[in-house]
Amino acid sequence: MELKLMMEKLGAPQTHLGLKSMIKEVDEDFDGKLSFREFLLIFHKAAAGELQEDSGLMALAKLSEIDVALEGVKGAKNFFE
C-alpha cells in the first residue's frame, strides 16, 4: 500500500499487478514486501543499468532523482523534504 501511495504521489500510478511486479523484481527474501535494503536496491540497479527502461521501478528511480548542479543545494533540500 505504501508503494502504491508513493507512486501515485510521484505522478506514476501503478496497477496492483504492476506493483506486485515491481516488488518481485527486487524482493531478495521473497516475502512479498520491500525492506529498506530492497528499496535502496532499486536505485542501485537503476544506476547499474539493470532495470528495464519501461518498468515501474525505472520510473520510480527517475522520478526520485534530482540534479543538484541544476537545482542547487537548496533545491535538493526541498526535494527531500
Q: Are 74 and 44 in contact (CB under 8 A)?
A: no
Residue in 53, 63, 64, 51 with CA at minimum distance from that of residue 24: 51
pLDDT tens sequence across 47-72: 898 988 888 888 888 776 656 676 66
Q: What is the pTM of this model?
A: 0.67
Grid cell locating 40: 535502496
Residue with cell 520510480: 60
| CATH 1.10.238.10 describes domain 1-75 | yes
Can you read off the three cell numbers belonging to residue 16? 496492483
Please tell me the predicted confidence (pLDDT) of residue 33: 92
